[in-house]
A and B are shown apart, each in its own frame.
Chain A
């Protein structure tokens, strides 16, 4: 009899009592709830963009994405075709990635492999400072210094390339405006802005490669460059790809600096030397000033597009890293 009563008191009520007094269950609930909260924020962003753009999706349909640069974005007539802005975002980010990737990898190699020990820390810091400078400061410096001094001359220099055949030629249809505001300017500013992102991660990837790899390559008589080019970079490829995609993500979403240097025109040739919009810069300029409800919805759909692109990039990054990691099993990190 006595035993059973003890057992009874040890049932769920007692256990619950003990564990709550102990505090672990509230703690794990709290911690779990916060983890769920983060999930909910992401879902809420997607949900809000999706529901708020419902009207635009229903009324405009796929015409919104029709890939023609000769598109209309006219709130006065309630016609919205977003391709020029999507194109603007993609082309500026593409310019930035093409220029920033070799530069950043070069810097990463220098910092990880060649740099004298004494210089390494200050150089690392300085590169990361580039990422800390606020976007509007880049924009301000861009308008007053970088554009007239660097971009406008480069634009004039590139203008003869417009004689190239087909699409390559139209990319360089000039002339660039005198103050330099153009898609090219946005691309160049973005290049500077994403260099630190790509550099920092690539450098860490290189530093994480075990020394045995280096020693093996050098022992076989390769030069330092051959060691870097033929051994280290292939070895760290997955991590570096991840870095590039992160950089691309930053370029796609960058708003203020781009808005300040891009010239803001719904331009039809798609030339790098002409003014244009990106999705983000159109949102920054027109969202607060939306004219009709459909205008607002169309811009939220633009935000949804931007969100979807970054989401897809994120998935792609994971997939790539996973693929490359599978192919070279020795590097299971990343």
Chain B
């Protein structure tokens, strides 16, 4: 309690004025800092819209890249690639992530539970470029080529800790009475988990997925040595040729994920470093599309969370 005694001792009249000034200055400073932090946000958003909006048109979304020096062309390849990578990353990350979260939520204090929490923390801290190195060694070198598969795997490792953590949090929020009721009615543990606890936590978990996808979509570093980038990626053409050659759906999917693939941030990185004005202009367009996409997911997810909170309180 010495802290409070010090407070009282200081509480003399001659300090009062000084203290009031310090109080006023420091409190307004915190408000000022908050405003200051928002400056880059609006500056970035505003400038990206200012530079990016003029290049956005239908062609930008529906065409592939054209060679340098020829006007026009779009970034359809990057949009398709981003979608493929996001789907792959979800496929690889969500099932193990959710199941591991079930373990973590039920067994927080077993040795494996503690080890799991620790490795989740470590994984969240591993720089994304190191993930790229890892997948390069694990997949790209044995497969002997860069591929969307490798890129998706790298992104999935990046998403894994977010998915485990949010899912675990959401599972823990489900009232005990629900699981006890289900177990009491004789349902086995797995059935209780899958058909009672999981649905009850589902919308929270999905918002967690959304946030993880938004962050993964914006990542470039893990894709540099895995997905590589590919301006001529064209799902439409692959599917069309697949149909003409009577290939099975698996063969077509295999061809889609088995070649180098581009993504919006990767395209932005290559375009921005080019000296051609049209490419630099397009890189701003890519930045705008990417930012709208990421921020939109973020906002939707957060509104969802808020609505849910309000529903619970009301």
- Do any CB atoms of chain A lie under 8 A from CB atoms of chain B in the complex? yes
List residues of B (217-254) whose CB comes within 8 Å of A's CBs: 217-221, 224-225
Residue of A nearest to B190 (CB): A27
With A and B bound together, what is the CA distance between A57 and B219 in angstroms?
30
Given contacts A136-B268, A256-B220, A306-B127, whether A30 and B99 have CB atoms under 8 Å apart is: yes
By a CB distance below 8 angstroms, the chain A residues around B273 are 260
By a CB distance below 8 angstroms, the chain A residues around B99 are 30-31, 34-35
User: Distance (Å) between the CB of B27 and the closest chain A CB?
Assistant: 6
List residues of A (242-270) whose CB comes within 8 Å of B's CBs: 246, 249, 252-256, 260
Q: Which of B112, B113, B290, B302 contacts A137 (CB 8 A)?
A: B290
Interface of A is mostly: helix
Chain B window 96-128, contacts with chain A (Cβ cutoff 8 Å), 1 for yes, 0 for no: 110110111010000011011011111101111
Which of the segments A73-81, A109-117, A177-185 contacts the partner chain? Answer: A109-117
Number of B residues contacting the other chain (C-beta, 8 Å)?
91
User: Distance (Å) between the CB of B31 and the closest chain A CB?
Assistant: 5
Chain A window 98-137, contacts with chain B (Cβ cutoff 8 Å), 1 for yes, 0 for no: 0000110011011100110000010101111110111111
Interface: A161 (CB within 8 A): no
By a CB distance below 8 angstroms, the chain B residues around A48 are 133-134, 137-138
Interface: A303 (CB within 8 A): yes
Interface: A38 (CB within 8 A): yes
A-B contact pairs, 24 of them (CB 8 A): A28-B189, A31-B102, A32-B103, A34-B99, A44-B134, A106-B30, A114-B31, A125-B302, A132-B215, A132-B298, A134-B268, A136-B220, A140-B268, A141-B43, A141-B44, A226-B7, A253-B125, A253-B129, A280-B129, A283-B129, A287-B136, A303-B133, A307-B130, A313-B125
Given contacts A34-B99, A192-B40, A287-B224, 20 further A-B contacts (CB under 8 A): A23-B191, A27-B190, A34-B103, A39-B119, A48-B138, A49-B130, A114-B31, A130-B37, A133-B218, A137-B44, A137-B218, A139-B272, A140-B268, A140-B272, A145-B47, A228-B26, A256-B221, A287-B225, A307-B126, A314-B125
Interface residues in chain A, defined as those with a beta carbon under 8 Å from any beta carbon in chain B: 22-24, 26-28, 30-32, 34-39, 41-42, 44-45, 48-49, 52, 102-103, 106-107, 109-111, 114-115, 121, 123, 125-130, 132-141, 143-146, 192, 195, 199, 216-217, 220-226, 228-231, 234, 246, 249, 252-256, 260, 280, 283-284, 287-288, 300, 303, 306-307, 310-311, 313-314, 318
